[in-house]
Structure 1
Amino acid sequence: MLDLLIEPLQYSFMQRSLMTAVLVGIVCASVGSYLMVQRLALLGDAISHSVLPGLAIAYIVGVDIFLGAFLAGIVSTIVITWIRTRSQIKEDAAMGIVFSAFFALGITLITVIQKDNKIDLNHFLFGNILSVTGEEVINTAIITAIVLAIVLLLYKELMYYTFDPVGAKAAGLPTNLLNFGLMILIALTIVASLKAVGVILVLAMLITPGATAYLLVTRLHQMMLLGSGIGVVASISGMYLSYFFNLPSGPAIVLVTFGFFMLAFLFSPSQGVLTHPRVQSNQSQIWREIKGLLR
């Protein structure tokens, strides 16, 4: 058994991949917990899809593609806020409009680039963690450190704003800045996760570990810590499954994360479908209503 665990570590590409996977598991769960509590999962989806044109434009211009992705994420959040504040369009609708438009623009630019260049940018859609370089590991570590430092420094303010935005504004906190700062943290987290799971799957790593912890604990800091632990274990497990069974790494990590969520969903001591009587009674009521509709 020990030999199976050690075998992948003999290869430098696996060492780099595992380090990246651990960092991504930690940072995604830490930031994703705020999205879970605020019920803003769509915001993570919007920003993750919106970084794609930034990648393509950065490649065309010849600058760091991760810088382009980050800037595109920031621009998308500004556009979402602008639409929401200057019209009667609700925030969820504004997110859907912006992320679909940015994603379409990104796909179009990538298609144009690939007509004239023999280069594959599709790995940014689905991730390619096995190809990470030492420099990319360092970049991911730096982004993770920055995000975690900001979360620690502004933990109380972000928690207050997350649970009671109206009260936070009445208390004099700069809620607009906190909201924009949270969006920046999301954009940084997505940039850090691009090579690991890609644009399409990054939302799963942002939401699923935090959602799993949400079913098991009651406090935000516990949710962040447990979610990070789940993200790390799922990332490492997914990498090992990818290595031994020749599976795509990003999807393997996401599927393991989903497996942990289903275990919590079914067996959580306080909210599990199979372990909590209230949930069971709710399920029975739903089935009765469905049967009533079919009669």
Structure 2
Amino acid sequence: MDAMSFEEIFIDPLRYEFMVRALATTVTAAVVCAVLSCWLVLIGWSLMGDAVSHAVLPGVVLAYIVGLPFAVGAIVFGFLAVGLIGVVRATSRIKEDAAIGIVFTTLFAFGLVLVSVTPSQTDLNHIVFGNLLGVSRSELVQIVVLAALTLTALVLKRRDFTLYAFDPVHAHAIGLNTRWLGIALLGLLALTSVVALQAVGVVLVVAMLIIPGATAYLLTDRFQRMLVIAPAVSVTAAVTGLYLSYHLDTASGAMVVVVQGLTFTAVYLFAPRQGVIGRRIAAVRRRRATASAV
């Protein structure tokens, strides 16, 4: 690759201000989503992440209507969704997965109705499908602030959250308030959803909240390494997806998620210890080593 082609591929897109803002947005969202996804994967909250990320839509639209920050509406409806799921599960024969499906689809549909009837100077459909290339300066500032708050909370409470994820019974036994830890994680999940939805939209937020942690989980058995691997993989996929969307003229948020999905697929197949093909290769090598030793 000569210098000119390198410049055309990597430098030329950054001559546009909207691409610089898009790059900053996607990297910020990728980092905060990836870090939180490590705990979501360990706790088994993939469905809950899906529920909260979709349920925040009506809250975001209502916040827009009354002139409040998106984060306020997202947090309110995030906790509302969790509360409704708990009520349905506790007061009926409906199991948790069904309760999650009922609540999040109903709230998401309510959000779509609000989007369709709310007059606005901006296209609220971008909240649903993402508008990575249309992020404004003020929106970027909000994204960075929310991401910084979320990351700070995750870093400061990482030991408590980790113990809660691995052994909530032990966490409770040593004096940690596991109920409040769960509530805190749900609040951070709602904030993170706001960060990501402005990049990839509500529909694809769950992918950014689950895929990085799942990918890292297949690459290491140590949680501290997961907290490094997941953001690294997520940022690499996000930047790659953004550049591909620019050169191929495709939807930016969707391309970011596609690259993350392809990355997971490669790890799922070829990871040295946990990959499907990787395990078979390792088993063949062990058999050969055993046969040669005999």
Partner of residue 98 from structure 1, selected from 103, 106, 122: 103
1:170 matched to 2:173? yes
The 3-state SS of whatever aligns with 1:181 is: helix
1:271 matched to 2:274? yes
TM-superposed CA distance for 1:251, in Å, is: 0.5
Q: Which residue of 1 aligns with 2:6?
A: 2
Q: Structure 2: where are the runs of 5+ without partners? A: 285-294
Q: Which residue of 2 aligns with 1:27?
A: 32
TM-superposed CA distance for 1:133, in Å, is: 1.1
1:38 matched to 2:53? no
Counterpart-to-counterpart distance in 2, 1:280 and 1:124: 47
TM-superposed CA distance for 1:226, in Å, is: 0.5
Instruction: Indicate conservation of the 8 Å contact 1:272/1:279, yes or no.
Output: no
Q: Which residue of 2 aligns with 1:228?
A: 231
Instruction: Indicate conservation of the 8 Å contact 1:194/1:202, yes or no.
Output: yes
Q: Which residue of 2 aligns with 1:64?
A: 69
Counterpart-to-counterpart distance in 1, 2:175 and 2:280: 43
Counterpart residue identity of residue 146, structure 1: L
Counterpart-to-counterpart distance in 1, 2:15 and 2:121: 32
Instruction: Indicate conservation of the 8 Å contact 1:273/1:279, yes or no.
Output: no
Q: Which residue of 1 aligns with 2:189?
A: 186
Q: Structure 1: where are the runs of 5+ without partners? A: 282-295
Per-residue deviation, residues 45-68 of structure 1 (Å, max 9, x unmatched)? 000110111122223323333432
Deviates more, 1:62-71 or 1:234-243: 62-71
Counterpart residue identity of residue 189, structure 2: I
1:133 matched to 2:127? no
Matches within 5 A, 1:73-84: 73-84=78-89
Per-residue deviation, residues 136-195 of structure 1 (Å, max 9, x unmatched)? 111111111111111111111111110111221222210100000010111010001111
What is the TM-score with the length of structure 1 in the denominator? 0.89
TM-superposed CA distance for 1:33, in Å, is: 0.9
Q: Which residue of 1 aligns with 2:292?
A: none
Q: Which residue of 1 aligns with 2:291?
A: none
Per-residue deviation, residues 23-79 of structure 1 (Å, max 9, x unmatched)? 111000100111111111000100011011112222332333343223222322233
The 3-state SS of whatever aligns with 1:271 is: coil
| Shift in CA distance, 172/278, structure 1 to aligned 2, threshold 3 Å | farther
1:161 matched to 2:188? no
For these two proteins, the number of residue pairs brought into alignment is 279
Deviates more, 1:180-189 or 1:50-59: 50-59
Q: Which residue of 2 aligns with 1:287?
A: none
Counterpart residue identity of residue 97, structure 2: D
Counterpart-to-counterpart distance in 2, 1:213 and 1:40: 16
- Between the two proteins, what is the percent identity of the paired residues? 43
